[in-house]
Amino acid sequence: MTDASTNMRLKLPITCFILEIIIIILFGVLVQYDEGTDAKLWHDRNHSSHSDYDNDFYYRYPSFQDVHVMIFIGFGFLMTFLQRYGFSSVGFNFLIAAFALQWATLMQGFFHGMHGGKIHIGVESMINADFCTGSVLISFGAVLGKTSPVQLLLMAIFEVTLFAVNEFIVLSVLGAKDAGGSMTIHTFGAYFGLIVARVLYRPNLDKSKHRNSSVYHSDLFAMIGTLYLWMFWPSFNSAITAHGDDQHRTAMNTYYSLAACTLSSYAMSALTAHDGKLDMVHIQNAALAGGVAAGTAGEMMLTPFGSMIVGFVAGIISVLGFKYLSPVLESKLKIQDTCGVHNLHGMPGILAASFKCLLVSVCVTSGFILKLPIFGAPPDTICFEDSIYWEVPEEETGHGNQLTTVRTEETEKLSS
Amino acid sequence: MTDASTNMRLKLPITCFILEIIIIILFGVLVQYDEGTDAKLWHDRNHSSHSDYDNDFYYRYPSFQDVHVMIFIGFGFLMTFLQRYGFSSVGFNFLIAAFALQWATLMQGFFHGMHGGKIHIGVESMINADFCTGSVLISFGAVLGKTSPVQLLLMAIFEVTLFAVNEFIVLSVLGAKDAGGSMTIHTFGAYFGLIVARVLYRPNLDKSKHRNSSVYHSDLFAMIGTLYLWMFWPSFNSAITAHGDDQHRTAMNTYYSLAACTLSSYAMSALTAHDGKLDMVHIQNAALAGGVAAGTAGEMMLTPFGSMIVGFVAGIISVLGFKYLSPVLESKLKIQDTCGVHNLHGMPGILAASFKCLLVSVCVTSGFILKLPIFGAPPDTICFEDSIYWEVPEEETGHGNQLTTVRTEETEKLSS
Amino acid sequence: MTDASTNMRLKLPITCFILEIIIIILFGVLVQYDEGTDAKLWHDRNHSSHSDYDNDFYYRYPSFQDVHVMIFIGFGFLMTFLQRYGFSSVGFNFLIAAFALQWATLMQGFFHGMHGGKIHIGVESMINADFCTGSVLISFGAVLGKTSPVQLLLMAIFEVTLFAVNEFIVLSVLGAKDAGGSMTIHTFGAYFGLIVARVLYRPNLDKSKHRNSSVYHSDLFAMIGTLYLWMFWPSFNSAITAHGDDQHRTAMNTYYSLAACTLSSYAMSALTAHDGKLDMVHIQNAALAGGVAAGTAGEMMLTPFGSMIVGFVAGIISVLGFKYLSPVLESKLKIQDTCGVHNLHGMPGILAASFKCLLVSVCVTSGFILKLPIFGAPPDTICFEDSIYWEVPEEETGHGNQLTTVRTEETEKLSS
């Protein structure tokens, strides 16, 4: 499966090299250690009253690592549910996340206060960069299987930049509180992705329909992603809240919101799915909606009681979205949302916020730029297929052919 | 594979909704933030001498997250070794854990001291709730493949309640020390599960025998579970010990106990298994027995020397149990212990304690209630099969059939 | 697939039991708790000015657990890429790591200062033991698929001992700084493994060539290993640096080095691989080179700018090594480096150091001892095959038989 238009031999290396060199130069010019990471600043400050054990590293880094696992393992494996798109799900997730966190360091530093013309970085900026990256990966979920890595890198440039602007408006200008980033991360990422998916609408996508589904072991790989997102969501929501009771409370509220959400997701899945059987898509996604929903208010004295109600409702809404809203989105609004990010990140996030409208036009622009034919997007006939961009072991291609043969026979039977 | 008696369309949603609504109401009435999570209490207390960095969150939360990973990834994936029961292993583990941790918060709060009629919660109660959940998941291992999700939720209600009573008796009334919960968690969970398995004995289970085994990749998935349990067991045993040297020492003792146990498990596996080859079942389970065995005394000045002897012996006993005791348990005592929890959690735990007898009658009662035909248990012919409760991707069913076809042909060849 | 020479029934148990019993005796005689883990020492010291919250456990244990995950999940799953060697990759990794960390505690304690004839242990010695274990696992990567577990345990004995000597020379005698262990861990482990692989050279290894490749899902399992190594490398490099700004800075430098390395690895992979498609081998390995390269200087005021340049170059070198150097190593130098550890750990580490030459002769000796025919190494025809040392589920053997059938035909053709 090779085609001149999807060939990445020059497009991907050139894009990566140019972006990375620009980033390195900007880091050289603009970026400095903050007082927690700079030897001189830390020891000057330390001289007076602080000990080395007071370094913020010890109070943020474990949360940072949990968030980091969510970004690379959580999002990466959540998307491996597709039968022939596992390399791309994990591998493109890896690439665009590694890029986005660097670009986010620059954009967030630029918009959230330079110090004497310099961006100061430490563990807190690393968490913020990972958060912004999360937003890009949510959008990736909406366009999964239909985009080339070059398109994804471009999308990341636009989205990270816009994310920093949006975050600045929501948090600094409007003064809103959004500890777990329901508004700035999830809702933003979901609707950005949906708008891009709309602009990239493919009327003939059903030609790739047989690949847009899971196989047994691909669903188990996806559960690795789901569970890491679920387990570490308390760390995500509490990672940059104020130290002390705030951080403690946020983590606990999220823990109970997720637990309640899991029960309502399973209930709704059995209720709505075929023959009363549970649907892996619901379990992999809806059970996480409680984390999104608890994101904005998690820091407050919400009480576990309040958190559980929020999570309970989020699970119900999310399953209903997968069941009834996603087909409508595709047929009426022409939005092909591969991972159903609208149901996991969009609606649960919207429970908390709706400041996004003014940014829509910019998103549309991004989508149209991505649509230019020069970025090597796959044709409709071979979406959701690793072998366009990856070397796939040979016997598997054979296996794929077998599957195709079986399916072709079935198709012939149906059409005869 | 659909059948009216195993159909979950109404049974599962009704059970989940009722349970979750009861829990939410009880949380609303009974549960409050503790002084580490309550804004007012913390800042009042803080006023005097404490800083925000003294919040127990920073000294317990990393251990909590390790335990959390053991509960959802460790136990969940450990049980994915069955060839056609991966969705259920991970998925039911997820469901009953999410339920059990909420119910445990209430039951443990109720038995371990109310404060002015209220249950106070924070990171320590979250760890305790996860511990109690671990006990339920151990029991799940014994009945794996033979129970419906509704039965499992019922089992969790009984077991969590009894767990809190047992914990109260062992720790408060008898005043025993049990940092890593060998007695309260592992031995209790194992024997509870075994008694339930005994009551649910299925004389015709060999009809599902061909499903009660692993395939190549299912064993690799199970190793993810094994390794997370193994790596984080030091955190499990030390998560709620006293701060300072106690917590430090407990983690280290467990680390060395597990290392010694791993060597003796591999040795015994090669010695007892077919042709001197290692058996994945032993590696996946026996290598963990050192963690259970070091649980009770881990906090004490056991010395690494003592820990390693305990772990070394536990590994030997556990492999011998899998090899020689499990078949006897099934044929003589009619206990069909799917995961061999007796060998991993039961016997190593019994090395430390035997306070469980007085609770046996209650367990038997639980088992008989679970046996009522209304909960949708699978028939003997289709145990260990995901497609009863899950939507399984279509081509996999085909793939399964192909395999079966091949096997049937082979069998015919052999018998002709 | 059973053969008297590879039969482990007695060889493996005897080796494990003897080694473990020796270790337990030596621990009994030589090892004591340090002041952070000993109840008496800690409380004596504590009496004066320290609180229980000052115990080093709280400032090292989260990093230790990240390193622990890298050792058991990271290295273990990184090597599961081979189609029929997953049990051995994860399982032998588990066995030799559990052994090596115990032996390393003794050897490092012995060479790095006894206290009154005793080795004092705590969380810092646990991290150091895991580091030394990492070195053994790197060497394992070079000989993967071609060695028996008994050979691997022997290799671990030699390598751990030599590692402690080398570490003593580099850090204590030469006084070099090497926070992340580029020199002492990665370069040492890589070249030790390469020399052993050279001595164990198999001229007829192409008989096992069809097994020395991946299948679709085995590559996804390997990505679990890659991502955990990538995510936790900042913890690896910072785990034993000085507290405060040093630890904070090291983690952050590594984070940016890895991000830059990922982009250059993807770029080089698309540029050099077939048809501009990405090669999983490069992604799984080269993207990690930035962690190795940032290991030595990461503690210093390298600046993120400097770290990113180092990572960027490391990614390029590593992919070029896989593409152009590995074939030369095999054809000219007769080094069959299964995992390409030279490209991931060797060259990136050599960027930082070249103190290894004087140790070469000792490594050669180790290799020759391993080559003795008594340790049950697999014959050339069945390298990279689990079923020599593991019970493999039956239907998979069926699958294997199919493969074997094809292969048998090939063999017949060859022999006729």
Let me know if residue C107 belongs to a domain: yes
Amino acid C338: pLDDT = 78
| % of chain B with per-residue pLDDT over 90 | 37
Let me know if residue C413 belongs to a domain: no
Lowest average pLDDT, out of B77-91, B194-208, C347-361, goes to C347-361
Chain B residues closer than 8 Å to A312 by CB: 20, 24
Confidence check: pLDDT of C163 > 60 = yes
Over range C312-331, report the average pLDDT. Answer: 87
| % of chain C with per-residue pLDDT over 70 | 80
**Residue whose C-alpha is closest to residue B295's, from B259, B254, B248:** B254
Lowest average pLDDT, out of A328-342, B257-271, C176-190, C344-358, goes to C344-358
Confidence check: pLDDT of A360 > 60 = no
Find where tokens 């990572």 sit: C311
Over range A42-48, report the average pLDDT. Answer: 68
Let me know if residue B42 belongs to a domain: no
Confidence check: pLDDT of A65 > 70 = yes
Lowest average pLDDT, out of A316-325, B60-69, B224-233, C131-140, goes to A316-325
Confidence check: pLDDT of B407 > 60 = no
CATH for B387: 1.10.3430.10
A44 has a chain C CB within 8 A of its CB:
no
Chain B residues closer than 8 Å to A308 by CB: 20, 23-24, 27, 102
How many angstroms separate the CA atoms of B147 and B371, rounded? 10
CA distance A314 to chain C (A): 30
User: What confidence tier does B50 reach under pLDDT thresholds 50, 70, 90?
Assistant: confident
Lowest average pLDDT, out of B61-75, B224-238, C168-182, C197-211, goes to C168-182
Give the CA count within 13 Å in the CB-facing half-sphere of A50. Answer: 17
Amino acid A357: pLDDT = 41
Which of C 144-203 lie inside 8 A of B, CB atoms?
A: 149
Confidence check: pLDDT of C286 > 50 = yes
A216 has a chain C CB within 8 A of its CB:
no
User: What confidence tier does A169 reach under pLDDT thresholds 50, 70, 90?
Assistant: confident
**Which residues pair with residue B82 across a beta bridge?**
B214
Let me know if residue C49 belongs to a domain: no
Chain B residues closer than 8 Å to C387 by CB: 277
Lowest average pLDDT, out of B134-148, B378-392, C279-293, goes to B378-392
CA distance B166 to chain C (A): 30
The rounded mean pLDDT for chain C is 82
Chain B residues closer than 8 Å to A406 by CB: 395, 398
Let me know if residue C169 belongs to a domain: yes
C278 has a chain A CB within 8 A of its CB:
yes
Let me know if residue B268 belongs to a domain: yes
Chain B residues closer than 8 Å to A230 by CB: 72, 94
Which amino acid is present at B299?
Answer: E
Chain C residue with CA closest to A53: the answer is C244
Over range C283-296, report the average pLDDT. Answer: 85
User: What confidence tier does B43 reach under pLDDT thresholds 50, 70, 90?
Assistant: confident
Q: Which of B43-47, C316-320, C366-370 has the highest mean pLDDT?
A: C316-320
The rounded mean pLDDT for chain A is 82
Supply the angle between the helices C86-111 and C123-143 in degrees, to the nearest 10.
130
User: What confidence tier does A99 reach under pLDDT thresholds 50, 70, 90?
Assistant: very high
User: What confidence tier does C399 reach under pLDDT thresholds 50, 70, 90?
Assistant: very low
Confidence check: pLDDT of A372 > 80 = no
ipTM comes to 0.86
A76 vs C341, which has greater pLDDT? Answer: A76
How many angstroms separate the CA atoms of B14 and B11, rounded? 5
Confidence check: pLDDT of B231 > 90 = yes
A53 has a chain C CB within 8 A of its CB:
yes
Whether residue B383 contacts residue B146, with contact meaning beta carbons closer than 8 Å, is answered with yes
Let me know if residue C396 belongs to a domain: yes
User: What confidence tier does C366 reach under pLDDT thresholds 50, 70, 90?
Assistant: low
Over range B289-298, report the average pLDDT. Answer: 78
Contact across the interface for B301 and C43, Cβ inside 8 Å: no
How many angstroms separate the CA atoms of C182 and C351, rounded? 9
Confidence check: pLDDT of A242 > 70 = yes
Contact across the interface for A76 and C214, Cβ inside 8 Å: no
- Our CA angle for A222, A97, A256, nearest 5°, is 55
Query: Which of B64, B211, B245 to probe by mutation at the C interface, max C CB count within 10 Å?
Result: B245
Amino acid B397: pLDDT = 42
Lowest average pLDDT, out of A156-170, A186-200, A293-307, B306-320, goes to A293-307
User: What confidence tier does C127 reach under pLDDT thresholds 50, 70, 90?
Assistant: very high
**Residue whose C-alpha is closest to residue A161's, from A124, A192, A205:** A192
User: Tens digits of per-residue pLDDT, C66-123?
Assistant: 999 999 999 999 999 988 888 999 999 999 999 999 999 999 999 887 888 899 999 9
Confidence check: pLDDT of C396 > 60 = no
A351 vs B74, which has greater pLDDT? Answer: B74
Let me know if residue B186 belongs to a domain: yes
How many angstroms separate the CA atoms of B288 and B277, rounded? 20
Contact across the interface for C263 and A16, Cβ inside 8 Å: yes
A334 vs C298, which has greater pLDDT? Answer: A334
Amino acid C211: pLDDT = 82
Over range C38-52, report the average pLDDT. Answer: 74
Residue B33 host element (H or E): strand B31-33
Number of domains in chain B: 1
Amino acid A62: pLDDT = 94
Amino acid A401: pLDDT = 40
Confidence check: pLDDT of C261 > 80 = yes
DSSP summary character for residue B6: G
Amino acid B405: pLDDT = 36
Amino acid B202: pLDDT = 85
Over range A152-181, report the average pLDDT. Answer: 82
B273 has a chain C CB within 8 A of its CB:
yes
Over range A400-414, report the average pLDDT. Answer: 40
How many angstroms separate the CA atoms of A376 and C33, rounded? 61
Chain C residues closer than 8 Å to A224 by CB: 224
* Token couple for A109: 């530093």
Chain B residues closer than 8 Å to C95 by CB: 262-263, 266
Amino acid B65: pLDDT = 95
The partner residue sitting opposite C37, judged by closest CB among B62, B245, B277, is B245
Over range C23-44, report the average pLDDT. Answer: 88
A309 has a chain B CB within 8 A of its CB:
yes
Structural Rg of chain C based on CA atoms: 22
The rounded mean pLDDT for chain B is 82
The partner residue sitting opposite C61, judged by closest CB among B62, B230, B312, is B62
- For the CA atoms of C229, C231, C233, C238, the dihedral, rounded to the nearest 10 degrees, stands at -150
Amino acid C47: pLDDT = 58
Over range B77-95, report the average pLDDT. Answer: 91
Amino acid C414: pLDDT = 41
Amino acid B366: pLDDT = 67
How many angstroms separate the CA atoms of C231 and C240, rounded? 17
- Alpha helices (H) along C31-122: 39-48, 57-69, 75-78, 86-111
* Cβ neighbourhood burial of A416 (10 Å; 0-12, 13-18, 19+): exposed
What domain range is A406 assigned to? 4-44+52-415
Amino acid C67: pLDDT = 95
Amino acid A54: pLDDT = 85
A406 vs C201, which has greater pLDDT? Answer: C201
